[in-house]
A and B are shown apart, each in its own frame.
Chain A
């Protein structure tokens, strides 16, 4: 536990990515003493973390270190895993999201998620993006159409698909599918986007497009990205958290982690000596 840095951000208050200075003081996400079990397996062993708004935070670490589990706590996607049990408190915008009477559907409109494998619905491109709005009961066609168009524009997919919005989302290429999935998430207008290795199934060009997109998105959104790609973490993130065997080993500005890590384990991992 002594290795956990309570809130390293306090020391580095200057954040070039934060737009509204008043927001700087309020953490977007605050996790306190998080422990997770899958049946008897202790997947996360007591992690504190605080994430600032309008930043990109990268979670790195070897497979099975708990980084994906930790990410999925923020939109309660672990709730569906058999044997999942959790202790600790996670506050998003100041609200404890593991309170008893919390509305999980509302939470997920606030905290969007993009998955490792592009997973468009077997529906048209339009319906894919409109899905999140329609399940909220929105029927205003004009509103939905505008939102679909603006979401597709934000991810840079509009020009590529504007003539074939009725085509199946599955017919797109892998990279386009992943951007469609991001557009689908944006359409609901969350403030946080969780990305679980969003480019690991994509070719380098598609990966570059997604990274470029993440860079643009942080103006409006708080992004947390799990990645196995060290270069990616160093390219796109403001903060990096290194996980190992269910512990948060080091969490700091990305620059510091990659140029001057405090822990030997971090250095070993980012230099490729293990993992």
Chain B
């Protein structure tokens, strides 16, 4: 076998290996989703979404957990979005070459790799105890904000980096200041990328369980939170709680709740993909 044939063979082999790996992932996901759908799809109705939790499986609903998740999502967005985007802008546009920026950069990449339960412990100490927020929606949101901040910052930087330098040059050459250039050119041009990153980060946050358990989210709350200082539960904790019950009715509930949680993350990812495509088109 000569070299060309060998390379061709390697090329083919790698291609099939790649296809095989992709299929494994997809098949596993399909089996999982199929299994969950079989277990839970029939359990989903309007009452399931609007009912409060109950001791009886057939009367239980996800209302409080769903509302808790929505509260957490909203507050986390409000907290993490401005801080993360501002930090990304600072690192990319202002502090490019100083030592502080280098230090921050290493720290941010490290933070992105810290296990989420560590954030939970941090949140427990700082927000719940020192700041005395208790096991509230606010404490949970602050904790999740810390968790997704590195992702938001990195996404913001990548989106800003993708803005063509020629646009910045044009703005500066017309007498725009740095901030004017950021506000009028860079941010509009990178907003799609930033939104994509933020939504993906949030869709991770909505599935997080461990840090919220540590912060003190409850498995059973009788009412949906009505202000940021209320106690709360979230969907993943509700699911975890139902799965650990022996009655088969709760297993069915858990499957149904998983379907809804999956639906939420799929929709969020879909929106992210939509923004990404729209944003890419603008530049081509």
A266 at the interface (CB under 8 A from B): no
Bound together, the chains give a CA A108 to CA B96 distance in angstroms of 23
- Residue in B closest to A128 when the chains form the complex, CB atoms: B170
Q: Is the CB of B177 within 8 A of A105?
A: yes
Instruction: Enumerate B136-195 residues with CB–CB distance to A below 8 Å.
Output: 164, 166-167, 169-177, 180, 184-185, 188-189
Chain A positions 99-133 with a Cβ under 8 Å from a chain B Cβ = 105-106, 108-109, 112-113, 115, 117, 119-122, 131-132
For the complex, give the distance between the alpha carbons of A188 and B97 in Å: 32
In Å, the complex CA distance between A179 and B223 comes to 64
Chain B CB within 10 Å — which of A108, A135, A185 has the most?
A135
Which of B97, B172, B189 interacts with A108 by CB under 8 Å? B172
- Asked if A77 meets B175 with Cβ closer than 8 Å, knowing A82-B97, A122-B282, A135-B180, the reply is no
In the complex, A172→B283 CA distance in Å? 14
Q: Output the least CB separation between A223 and chain B (Å).
A: 15
- Considering the complex, give the chain B residue whose CB is closest to the CB of A123: B188
Asked, given contacts A119-B164, A121-B167, whether A132 binds B172 with beta carbons under 8 Å apart, the answer is: no
* Chain B CB within 8 A of A147 CB: no
- Within 68-95 of B, Cβ neighbours of A (below 8 Å) are at none
Q: How far is the CA of A9 from the CA of B189 in the complex (A)?
A: 46
* A151 lies within 8 A of chain B by Cβ: no
Complex alpha-carbon distance, A199 and B219, angstroms? 68
Considering the complex of A and B, which 5 residue pairs feature the smallest CB-CB distances, nearest first? A119-B166, A132-B174, A113-B173, A108-B175, A109-B175
Secondary structure type dominating chain B contacts: helix
With A105-B177, A135-B175 known as contacts, the answer to whether A115 contacts B166 (CB < 8 A) is yes
CB of A143 within 8 A of chain B?
A: no
Chain A residue, CB-CB nearest to B181: A135
B184: chain A residues within 8 A (beta carbon): 131, 135
With a cutoff of 8 Å between Cβ atoms, the chain B residues found around residue A113 in the complex are: 169, 173
A136 at the B interface (CB under 8 A): yes
Residues of B within 8 A of A136 (CB): 175
Q: How far is the CB of A178 from chain B (nearest CB, A)?
A: 12
Given contacts A112-B174, A135-B174, 6 further A-B contacts (CB under 8 A): A75-B173, A109-B175, A115-B170, A121-B167, A132-B175, A135-B175
A181 close to B (CB within 8 Å): yes
Min CB distance, A243 to chain B, in Å? 21
A119 to B169 alpha-carbon distance, docked (Å) = 9
Q: Does A184 contact B (CB under 8 A)?
A: yes
Number of interface residues of A (CB under 8 A): 24
Q: Mark A residues whose CB is within 8 Å of B.
A: 75, 77, 80, 82, 105-106, 108-109, 112-113, 115, 117, 119-122, 131-132, 135-136, 181, 184-185, 188
The 10 listed contacts between A and B (C-beta, < 8 Å) are A108-B174, A112-B174, A115-B169, A117-B166, A132-B174, A132-B176, A135-B171, A135-B184, A136-B175, A188-B175
- Mark out the residues of chain B between 178 and 219 whose CB falls within 8 Å of any chain A CB in the assembled complex: 180, 184-185, 188-189
Q: Which of A120, A131, A136 has the most CB of B within 10 A?
A: A131
Please indicate the chain B residues that have their CB under 8 angstroms from the CB of A131 in the complex: 171, 174, 176, 184
Tell me whether A119 and B167 are in contact (CB under 8 A).
yes
Give the residues in chain A near B189, CB-CB below 8 Å: 122
Minimum C-beta distance from A218 to chain B (A): 20
Decide yes or no: A121 and B170 within 8 Å by CB, A135-B176, A135-B184 being known contacts.
yes
Q: In the docked arrangement, what's the CA distance between A77 and B165, Å?
A: 12
Q: B282 — which chain A residues lie within 8 A by C-beta? A: 122
Choice from A105, A122, A181 contacting B283 with Cβ under 8 Å? A122
Q: How far is the CA of A258 from the CA of B1 in the complex (A)?
A: 62
A80 touches B172 (CB 8 A): yes
Cβ–Cβ contact A181 & B170, under 8 A: yes
Indicate the member of B166, B175, B282, B283 with the most A CB atoms within 10 Å.
Answer: B175
- Min CB–CB distance B244 → chain A (angstroms): 53
A152 to B189, CA, bound (A): 25
Chain B nearest CB: distance from A266 CB in Å? 30
Inter-chain contacts of B177 with A (CB < 8 A)? 105, 135
Q: Are B176 and A105 in contact (CB under 8 A)?
A: yes
Minimum CB–CB distance from B271 to chain A (whole Å) comes to: 22
Cβ distance A62 to chain B, nearest Cβ, rounded Å: 23
Q: Check A119/B170 contact, CB under 8 A, given A82-B97, A135-B180, A135-B184.
A: yes
User: A122: which B residues are within 8 A, CB to CB?
Assistant: 167, 188-189, 282-283
Give the nearest-CB partner of A187 in chain B: B174
Residue among A106, A112, A122 with most chain B CB within 10 A: A122
Instruction: Identify the closest chain B residue to A137 (Cβ).
Output: B180
